[in-house]
Amino acid sequence: MTNVLIIEARFYSHIADMQFEGAAKALTNFGAQFDRISVPGALEIPPAILFAAKGAEGAGKSYDGYVALGCVIRGETFHFEIVAGESARGLMNLGLHHGLCIGNGILTVENEAQALARAAHDGGDKGGDAARACLALIETRNKFGVHR
């Protein structure tokens, strides 16, 4: 059975809940089991994934893949670019350097209306998209016989 960890940034909790709904439905429809943990914001997601992966090496619970959910809304300062870019870079580094299967569902938007449209399960369903991307990477890794 496929086992996935959903890591959600709770900075915009109502958006995180909408994204989680889509991710949970996609994983359930696939027949995957999943756990859910929360972190304060998008920058904390990559380290949390690494901690989970390293914990499995020490006889902790092992996950086949990870779904990153969060939202970064542009503000009046450069902070948006830092959080959006560094969280994406962190996730990409985990995939490329550690071989982790990660579906990136961190929304980077101009305003809350865009976030709500993308997060809604019956709208953009970016949480579901991230879960499906994670599952596709797991399938690809398995196809090539790469071990976690």
Q: Which contiguous run of DSSP H or E holds residue 31?
A: none
Given 79, 97, 98, 147, the catalytic residue: 79
Assess whether 147 carries a catalytic annotation.
no
Q: Can you say whether the dihedral through the CA atoms of 125, 142, 30, 59 is positive or negative?
A: negative
**CA-only gyration radius of the chain, Å:** 15
Classify the phi-psi angles of 99: left when phi > 0, otherwise alpha if psi is within -120 to 50, otherwise beta.
Answer: left
Q: Which residue has the tokens 């890794």?
A: 141
* Catalytic positions, written as ranges: 79
